Amino acid sequence: MDANQTITTPPKLSETPELPHGPEKLLPAPTYRGSLGAAFGIVVILIIVIIGALYFWGAKLTEVPEVEHDMTGGTVMTDTAK
């Protein structure tokens, strides 16, 4: 140890410093405001899914069945839906 350092005893329990106190008046909790962001996102996704479903449904309705000719000169309708 250096000559300048002295050994001190820890303070007694009655001499311990107090912990700092928080502010006397606490700030009020922020009020809850509902967010429309999530609801708006869900509506946009549903609209996109509905438009896609209508697109594929319309493509299925306009699909023309394939016509094959047999050897006897008649026509045979075949179902192309799978």
The one-letter amino acid code at 16 reads: T
Digit-coded pLDDT (tens) for 55-74: 999 988 888 777 666 666 65
Q: What is the pTM of this model?
A: 0.41
Confidence of residue 81 (pLDDT cuts 50, 70, 90): low
The one-letter amino acid code at 44 reads: V
H helical segments located in the chain: 37-61
Structure tokens at 6: 């002295």
Structure tokens at 10: 């820890």
Digit-coded pLDDT (tens) for 1-59: 566 677 777 666 665 666 666 667 777 877 777 778 889 999 999 999 999 999 999 98
Q: How far apart are CA 76 and CA 66, in angstroms?
A: 9
